[in-house]
Structure formats: structure tokens, C-alpha cells
Amino acid sequence: MNQQFLYIIVIICIGYLLKRINLLKEKDGETISRIIFNITLPALVIVSLNSVKIEPSLILLPVIAFLIGFISLFLAFFVFKKEERVLKGTLMMMATGYNVGLFAFPLVEAIWGPIGLIYFGMFDIGNSLIVFGLSYIAGSYYSEKGLVLKPIGIVKKLSKSVPLMTYIIAGTLSFSNIHFPGGFIDIATIISKANLPLSLLLLGLYLNFNFEKQYLRPTIKYVLFRYGFGLIVGLAFYFLLPFNQMFRYTILIGLLLPVGLSVLPFAHEFKYSTHRLIGTLSNICIVISIIILYLFANFIL
């Protein structure tokens, strides 16, 4: 496991180095992320779900993920209520939702293999509803224009999420014991192999260690809230739920993942002036979550 994590860190560092020597630019990450979310990640989901029969208990994972996301957003309202409007909106958006597809999948694949991808994929269905639903609504509410709640618009955002639609379609087929043709799976398998290196390179490309002192207090407050909440709730669910160990691992680790990348596009859409803070918090969360997963994989599993 130490060797696996060493490979992961090296590939992330390569991505960061490519940016530092100007061979790639951070804006190139947009193209790479489109390839991941629309091609390689869906292919990986299809391959993983096609070979396994989904247990009925797995259907509870999206429900639990959504409920936890709702609770974290509710608590964040009180934790950050004294912050000025735009900063509060930023922290509320970032208080809920997790980077499963880009961050978790390559690490989960290295630790648990295909079975881990299935569990975290189900978790990500509920997570997607939080990111494109609750997080988006929170950001809209604290923007200058105020809340513009258009249910149809939110549904459109969800329906345009290729990974989410892939989870639902492939998961339904797997649950019904219907499988994709062998040739299709062979092609998807080849494409899916690119997901791990591309995702890790992208993480390195997005790493940025610039820090503005004015954001020190909200940064500390946010990190303590996010990981404190995740650890307390995750451990409670791990010890109290009557499901198998992989189910409980998924919730525990899922709640300690970094914030999703969708927050930055939302901030642009709502004309927030906190892009640097979002970048800083995202990078801090990535580093913390990598350390947590390393310790988990080497000293708990």
C-alpha cells in the first residue's frame, strides 16, 4: 500500500511540475476535467457496475449521503452566520458536497479495487444531488441578486451530469441483472484505464500554494468545521450502522473527502469575489484528505 501511495503522490507531483515549467497551464485542467467527467470516469463506472450484482442495501448509500449533506449545510448556516454575505455564501457552498469522481475514485481503486468503486459510486449519486442542488441553492441565495430558485434549471444541471446519469443507468441495469455487450465493455475497459493517471495529473495541475493572510481565520474555521463534522458523523455511522464493513468505510471516508470542483464555476456564475479563497481551501482539503487516506490505508485496513 505504501508503494501505491508513492505512485499516486509522484503522479500528482508530475502534474504540479508540468504547470511550474509551463508545459501545461492551469486552464488546461478544464479540458482534462471534461475528458475525465465525460469519458474516462463514465467508462470506469460502466466497467465496475457491469461485473457486480448490486445489493439492495447499497440503495441506502445515496439517501444517507444526501441527508448528511443537508445536515452539514444546516449546521454551516449557524457556524458561518457572522461572516459577511459573500464570504458566508462561499463557505456555505463549500460546507457540503465531496470530490468523489476526481479525487476519491483513483485512491479508492488503489485501495479496494472495483468493489470500492461501486460503493463510492452509489455514495456519489446522493453527493451529486447535494452539489448541484443544495450547494448551488446556497450559493445563489447569498449572491448579489439573491436566490433565483428554478427547479427546472437544477434538474437540467443534474441531467447534464454524465457521471450521474451513468451511475443511474448502469446501476439500474446491474440491479436488474442486465449486462452490456462484451465488445462494448472491452472498449470501456481500455478507456477507463486512463482515468487514474489523468485524475492524478489534474490534481497536481490544480495545486496552488499561494495564501492570503486575510483569509486565515475563515480558513481555519472552515477546515475545523468540515473535517470535525466529517470525522464525528463518519465515526458515528461506522460504529452504529448494521451494514458490512465496506458500506461503513464508504460513509466514513466519503465524509473526509475534499470539496468538489463545482464550487469554482458556481462562484463565477454568482459573481463572487472569493475565487482565491476557494482555490486555497480546495488545495488544503486535498492535502488533508490525502494524508487521511494514507493513514487509513496503512494503519487501519
> What's the distance, Cα to Cα, between the start and end of the chain in Å?
10
CA 69 to CA 130: how far, in whole Å? 6
Name the residue range of residue 42's domain: 23-200+214-299
Residue 70, CB-side half-sphere exposure with 13 Å CA sphere? 8
Number of domains in the chain: 1
Query: Does 5 fall in a domain?
Result: no
3 lies in some domain: no
Q: Is position 112 within any domain?
A: yes
- Amino acid 50 reads N
- Give, for all 301 residues of the chain, the pLDDT tens digit: 567 777 888 888 999 999 999 898 888 887 888 888 889 988 988 887 787 777 778 889 999 999 999 999 999 999 998 888 888 989 999 998 898 877 888 788 878 888 888 899 889 888 888 887 888 888 888 877 665 666 777 677 677 778 778 888 888 888 788 888 989 999 999 998 898 888 888 888 877 777 777 888 889 999 999 999 999 999 999 999 989 999 999 999 999 999 887 787 778 778 888 877 888 888 889 889 988 888 887 776 6
**In-domain check, residue 1:** no
Residues shown for the chain: 301
In a domain, 246, yes or no: yes
36 lies in a domain? yes
Please state, in angstroms and as integers, the Cα–Cα distance from residue 203 to each residue in 172, 211, 259, following that order. Answer: 31, 18, 13
**2 inside domain:** no
CATH classification at residue 59: 1.20.1530.20
**Residue 81 within a domain:** yes
Question: Which residues are within 8 A (CB) of 119 and not within 5 positions of it... i.e. 6 or more apart?
Answer: 58, 61, 112, 246, 247, 249, 250
- The region that residue 9 occupies, defined by phi over 0 for left and psi between -120 and 50 for alpha, beta otherwise, is alpha
